[in-house]
Amino acid sequence: MHLKMAKASTSMTIIISGLTLVTILAILSVDGIPTKVALASTSNQTQESEPVKIAAGGGNGTAPLTAFIPENVEVRVGQTVTWYNPTTVGEPHTVTFIFDGNKTAGVVSPMSISNTTEFTALPPGSNNEPILIPGEDGMNTIVVVNARTFNPVVIDSSDNVNFMTPNANYTLTGTEKYVNSGWFLPNGFEQEYPGSGNTFSVTFEKPGSYNYICILHPWMTGSVTVT
């Protein structure tokens, strides 16, 4: 369902671009983000040796931001970009590169399961129940959280699916079909979503322009141009 929204986000990108400066100022006043982060958002990156830092989201519980700041960056071959989450509440984000349209992925996904499977809520007696849709031929459909959006993962050019640990540092060769950070949260909030982390880092090895989205807020778009 998020992929349909992702297409609609193309027109929203223009709006977000126009709002970027306003958002930066808002972040500065709300969170006290260092000035150098704000400056980075208005000019291209030039320090080849330093990792480029991008804020994924920001703001607070009253006014959470859903934007990457800076939205567009330029880096050199071999340079590393690190995304972090400066929000003051536990709002997760992802950095998701979908290079092959067949690898689009939803946060929640239908899966087929035998209709004899019994489910027990954890902890027992808690107010939890799976979404279960009756099917045919002894099978039901269950709706699950998609590990390929929740966890850090890469799908390579041969369709191999390789999961990574949270706070992954990935070297992108440019041949991948799908690269996802998994959900990452502000420091101290990762326990809300077990298995998540706080950062995602990518080292770019091949010149090109790489567009990405947050799979939880598909209107959050960004690009890394590698020269």
Taking CB atoms, the residue at the shortest distance from Cu ion is 214
176 vs 218 by CB, closer to Cu ion: 218
225, two tokens: 């141009």
The span from the CA of 165 to the CA of 199, in Å, is 11
Q: Taking CB under 5 A as the criterion, which residues in 76-115 touch Cu ion?
A: 93
Are 141 and 110 in contact, with CB atoms under 8 Å apart?
yes
Q: How many residues bind Cu ion (CB under 5 A)?
A: 5
The span from the CA of 188 to the CA of 185, in Å, is 8
220 touching Cu ion, by CB under 5 A? yes
79 vs 168 by CB, closer to Cu ion: 168
> How many CB atoms are closer than 10 A to CB 113?
16
7, two tokens: 């297409």
79 vs 166 by CB, closer to Cu ion: 166
The distance of closest approach from Cβ of residue 212 to Cu ion in the complex, given in angstroms and rounded to an integer, is 11
Are 221 and 8 in contact, with CB atoms under 8 Å apart?
no
The distance of closest approach from Cβ of residue 115 to Cu ion in the complex, given in angstroms and rounded to an integer, is 36
The distance of closest approach from Cβ of residue 54 to Cu ion in the complex, given in angstroms and rounded to an integer, is 12
Binding site for Cu ion (CB under 5 A): 93, 214, 216-217, 220
